[in-house]
């Protein structure tokens, strides 16, 4: 039994288990998607149905609600495993905690956040987003949402031992989401106003890269300390 290939197949096994759990009954994915659809459709009632106003706020609304849907689905990312003891097993696996955090974040992104990015254009139609905005909306969500899962993973790991840590997690990570939100919405706004969205997308990608490094390291450290 060689060590290298087994680590990658352990990683895949964990990603697949977490995705299966996320899509099973009581899993977070469908709830997050439902939250996304309903919360976005509340805005026309809140700000009025004028197409120009909705078109103006569409990028921001979709990004903010996608972000909230992501946080809502993240609060038990590690907590369920912590409470039933399977986090012990994950820690003792050959993956190491950074690998565990990476696999769980990837599973969360694939099962929960990616569907939000795919559903976003349909909601943009309801909000009268100008045609030029669609490709960039999807592109910005694809580039930016991994950062949402990664930064959220920090909050989830820090509050893993806190009973009812959900609200606390909101307080911890929403401020950290500000750069992602600024660059993501900025890119779509630029596309809608016919200016160049590429600088915004590049900054968004840079944010995601920083979030990858910081997010995985901080999550692994927080989990290690929580297991003591």
Partner 1 sequence: MHRFANPAQFNRLADAVMPWAMVATVLLFGAGLYYALAGSPPDYQQGESVRVMYVHVPAAWMGMFVYVVMAVASFAALAWRHPLALLAGKAAAPIGATFTALALITGALWGKPMWGTYWVWDGRLTSVLVQFFLYLGYMALWKSMEDEEKAGNAASILALVGLVNIPIIKFSVDWWSTLHQPASVMRLDGPTIDGAMLVPLFLMAAAYQVYFTVVFIWRMKFEINNRKLSVMRSVDMGH
Partner 2 sequence: MIDANLIFDSETRLTGSALGCRRGGRRVFDGLDFEVQAGDFLSLVGKNGSGKSTFLRMIAGFVPKVAGEVIYNQGGKTAAALASEDITLVGHQNGLKPGMSLRNNATFYYRLMTGGVPAPERLQIAADIFALGSLLDEPVQYFSSGQRHRSALMRFPFVARQIWLMDEPTVGLDADNRAALAALIQHHMACGGIVIAATHDPMWVQGNVLNMDQFQPAHGTETDDEGWL
Q: CA–CA separation, 220 vs 100, rounded Å? A: 8
Q: CA–CA separation, 165 vs 159, rounded Å? A: 6
Q: How far is the CB of 156 from partner 1 (least distance, A)?
A: 12
37: nearest Cα among 132, 128, 158, 122: 122
Q: Are 218 and 157 in contact (CB under 8 A)?
A: yes
> Per CB under 8 A, which region of 88-96, 127-135, 140-148, 219-227 contacts partner 1?
219-227
Q: Which is nearer to partner 1, 57 or 110 (CB)?
A: 57
Q: Are 77 and 216 in contact (CB under 8 A)?
A: no
Q: How far is the CB of 227 from partner 2 (least distance, A)?
A: 5
Per partner kind, with CB cut-offs from 5 to 8 A, the member of partner 1, partner 2, none near residue 117 is: none
Q: Which is nearer to partner 1, 1 or 163 (CB)?
A: 163
Q: Which of residues 182-211 bind partner 1 (CB under 8 A)?
A: 210
- One of 5, 46, 85, 175 touching partner 1 (CB under 8 A): 175
Q: CA–CA separation, 86 vs 124, rounded Å? A: 40
For residues 2 to 31, the per-residue mask of contacts with partner 1, x marking binding by CB under 8 A and - elsewhere, is ------------------------------
Per partner kind, with CB cut-offs from 5 to 8 A, the member of partner 2, partner 1, none near residue 38 is: none
Mind spelling out the 3-state secondary structure of 89-140?
A: HHHHCCCHHHHHHHHHHHHHHHHHHHHHHHHHHHHHHHCCCCCCHHHHHHHH
Residue whose pair of structure tokens reads 């759990």 in the numeric block: 21
- One of 21, 126, 161, 205 touching partner 1 (CB under 8 A): 161
Q: Which residues bind partner 1 (CB under 8 A)?
A: 154, 158-159, 161-162, 165, 168, 171-172, 174-176, 178-179, 210, 214, 218, 221-222, 225-226, 228
């Amino acid at each position: 039994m060689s060590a290298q290939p087994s680590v990658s197949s352990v990683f895949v096994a964990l990603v697949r288990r977490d995705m299966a759990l996320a899509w099973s009954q009581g899993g977070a994915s469908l709830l997050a998607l439902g939250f996304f659809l309903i919360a976005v459709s509340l805005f026309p009632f809140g700000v009025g149905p004028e197409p120009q106003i909705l078109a103006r706020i569409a990028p921001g609304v979709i990004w903010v609600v996608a972000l909230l849907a992501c946080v809502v689905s993240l609060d038990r990312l590690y907590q369920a495993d912590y409470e039933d003891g399977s986090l012990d097993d994950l820690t003792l696996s050959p993956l190491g905690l950074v690998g565990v955090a990476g696999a769980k974040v990837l599973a969360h992104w694939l099962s929960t956040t990616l569907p939000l990015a795919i559903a976003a254009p349909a909601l943009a139609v309801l909000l009268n987003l100008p045609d030029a905005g669609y490709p960039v909306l999807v592109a910005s969500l694809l580039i930016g949402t991994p950062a949402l899962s990664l930064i959220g993973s920090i909050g989830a790991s820090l509050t893993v031992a806190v009973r009812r840590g959900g609200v606390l997690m909101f307080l911890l990570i929403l401020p950290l989401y500000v750069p992602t939100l600024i660059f993501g919405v900025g890119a779509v706004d630029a596309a809608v106003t016919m200016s160049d969205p590429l600088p915004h997308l590049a900054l968004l990608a840079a944010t995601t890269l920083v979030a990858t490094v910081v997010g995985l390291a901080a999550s692994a450290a927080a989990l290690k300390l929580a297991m003591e």
